[in-house]
Structure 1
Amino acid sequence: MDRLRRMIDLTLGSLCCGLVLILVAVLVWQVFSRYALNAPSSVTEEILRYGVIWMSLLGAAYATGRGGHMSVDMLRDRLSPRGRLLLDALVALAFLAFAGIVLIWGGMKGVTIAASQTSAVMRIPMSWVYLALPVSGAVMILYAVLNLADLARGRSRHADAQTQAELMGE
């Protein structure tokens, strides 16, 4: 399981870093062509818009796997180590439900609806843009399953070292 997680982390992290580099290069070109050449590029706005959509959704999936999603620790800090594990399991199950229902099921509906549409400037199928929803949902589900497997072994992506030691009986 750890090997699979590392492989997904490396792939998704590299993809997100690559997207950021591409988006920065496109943004620099957009600014340069607009102000230095006085001839703004027509495709850069769409590339940036669609790139940010993919980047945001893949980044959210990556954060899910790393346990870096937003959380309110007030309740968690008041729970026993076992209570923290149960809360972490509940969070993982909530991610499973959200990713399955909203991102995959709803996202596929969006992909289907957008299949007949093309973008205004680049003329690419809009279904490619909407595909970011089910793809990120599938990665979130995979991460949630890995997180649940870790919890079943008494390990949490969110637990600090003290909690891990308490759970292991040290």
Structure 2
Amino acid sequence: MSPRPNIEAADPERVTGVEGPPHPPSPPLSLADGLDRIVSVLAQAIVVVTGCALLALLLANVVARYTLGGGFSFAQELPERIFPFFIMAGVALAAQRGGHMAVELLPDLLGRRGRQVVRILAQLCVVAGHGVLAVVALDVAGISWIDQSPVLGLPASLSYYAIAGGAAAVIVATLALILRLFVIGPEAMPTPNPEELGL
């Protein structure tokens, strides 16, 4: 399932959920859909695999503590290396679905065209910020591979690669949103599902 903001797929036409004519399929929207599908499938797979691995490690360690009188020596190291992948995949999914915090005061004061420009500029800032994050994370990963966990010998650089990969996924998802903002307008901004919002 590809999470697309305010847009429902229809074969002949694209329905945006906003007032006005539906948006027919176009190359930019098809590209945005493809980018979203890639990010969504990869991020969901990473969340499921790492979430199950974290749960299995926790369960195995608890069982070992009660049955063997002590936990597994690797049970603390492995989650430290897995958890960043779990978190960054979730960050990418939240970026796709509009689940991150945002201040809406300025766009609400503007007309439709002004909202479109402000939202595109804001998304370009997201791309730039995550680009810097990815580059810095890769730099740190390059020097932190020597720091290895004592039991399994896993390099600390894995966590930084997770951060860089998550930042790249956010960039791809944001570029897909920018394409939609150009073609559709400010109505293309994702609306988070109320059930997914915290209080």
| Aligned-partner Cα distance in 1 for 2:162–2:136 | 12
Q: Name the structure 2 match of 1:137.
A: 167
Call closer, same or farther: CA 1:152–1:31 in 2, change over 3 Å: same
Structure 2 gap segments, 5+ residues each: 1-30, 193-199
Q: Provide the secondary structure at the position in 2 that maps to 1:104.
A: helix
Does 1:35 find its partner at 2:66? yes
Structure 1 gap segments, 5+ residues each: 161-170
Q: Name the structure 1 match of 2:129.
A: 98
Matches within 5 A, 1:45-56: 45-56=76-87
- Paired residue for 1:112, among 132, 142, 149? 142
AA aligned to 1:111 is: A
Aligned residues: 159
| Aligned-partner Cα distance in 2 for 1:36–1:132 | 34
- Structure 1 residue 77, shift from structure 2 partner: 4.2
Task: Identify, as 1 or 2, the structure richer in helix.
Answer: 1
Over aligned residue pairs, what C-alpha RMSD do you find?
Answer: 2.1
- Paired residue for 2:184, among 154, 159, 164? 154
AA aligned to 1:116 is: I
Does 1:21 find its partner at 2:52? yes
Q: For the Cα contact (< 8 Å) 1:85–1:154, is it kept in 2?
A: no
| Aligned-partner Cα distance in 2 for 1:77–1:55 | 34
- Structure 1 residue 66, shift from structure 2 partner: 2.3
Deviations 1:21-63 (A, max 9, x none): 1111111112111233312111111111222222112211221
Give the ranges of 4+ consecutive aligned residues of structure 1 lying more than 2 Å apart after TM superposition.
Answer: 72-88, 157-160
AA aligned to 2:146 is: S
Call closer, same or farther: CA 1:34–1:79 in 2, change over 3 Å: farther
| Aligned-partner Cα distance in 1 for 2:108–2:48 | 33
| Aligned-partner Cα distance in 1 for 2:55–2:74 | 14
- Structure 1 residue 144, shift from structure 2 partner: 1.6
- Normalised by the length of structure 1, the TM-score is 0.82
- Paired residue for 1:127, among 136, 140, 157? 157
Call closer, same or farther: CA 1:26–1:76 in 2, change over 3 Å: farther
- Structure 1 residue 79, shift from structure 2 partner: 4.0
| Aligned-partner Cα distance in 2 for 1:149–1:16 | 26
- Normalised by the length of structure 2, the TM-score is 0.71
